[in-house]
């Protein structure tokens, strides 16, 4: 149970940091996307889908974390339930649900990192660099 709490807290901290960075990146990207849409479709086609993939990944991680939290709260509030227990409204154990959700988070983080890498590469085509000053922007 403490591993689950640590995983949730670590992922939540990472996600909160990334959301802060994305607020600043949104301002930059809105201008850049409009600029490249008007002036260079080749670069626009490289940066826009990758930025979108990053946003989708963040939203996915956020909703999966909410799902893990609700499963955890359900398990805590039901007397006698453990990770191996199967809730009445499901065919999966709490453990299986959490494991599946953890895999979803890992896939979303991987998609986020891939989008970030390709976004940086897209800007390099115009001899620009995207630099982040926050150490937890990328997570493996």
Q: What pLDDT shows up at residue 52? A: 96
How many residues are recorded in the chain?
Answer: 140
User: Residue 76 falls within a domain, yes or no?
Assistant: yes
The C-alpha atoms of residue 48 and residue 65 are separated, in whole angstroms, by 26
User: Residue 130 falls within a domain, yes or no?
Assistant: no
User: Residue 135 falls within a domain, yes or no?
Assistant: no
User: Residue 140 falls within a domain, yes or no?
Assistant: no
What range does the domain containing 74 cover? Answer: 2-124
Q: Count up the domains in the chain and report the number.
A: 1
User: Residue 33 falls within a domain, yes or no?
Assistant: yes
User: Residue 99 falls within a domain, yes or no?
Assistant: yes
> Of 62, 55, 81, 56, which is closest to residue 8 (Cα–Cα)?
62
Q: What pLDDT shows up at residue 98? A: 84
Mean pLDDT in consecutive groups of 10 residues from the start of the chain, 140 residues: 80 90 90 91 92 96 92 77 69 81 94 93 82 58
Cα separations (Å) of 104 from 2, 63, 65, 126?
A: 20, 10, 10, 34
User: Residue 82 falls within a domain, yes or no?
Assistant: yes
């Amino acid at each position: 149970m403490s591993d689950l709490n640590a995983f949730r807290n670590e992922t939540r901290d990472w996600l909160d940091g990334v959301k802060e960075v994305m607020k600043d990146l949104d301002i930059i990207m809105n201008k850049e996307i409009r600029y490249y849409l008007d002036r260079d479709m080749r670069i626009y086609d490289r940066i826009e889908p990758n930025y979108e993939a990053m946003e989708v990944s963040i939203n996915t991680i956020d909703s999966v974390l909410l799902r893990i939290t609700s499963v955890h709260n359900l398990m805590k509030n039901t007397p006698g339930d453990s990770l191996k227990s199967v809730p009445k409204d499901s065919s999966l154990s709490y453990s299986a649900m959490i494991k599946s959700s953890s895999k979803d988070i890992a896939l979303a983080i991987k998609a986020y990192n891939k989008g970030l890498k390709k976004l940086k590469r897209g800007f390099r085509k115009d001899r620009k660099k995207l630099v982040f000053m926050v150490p937890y922007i990328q997570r493996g």
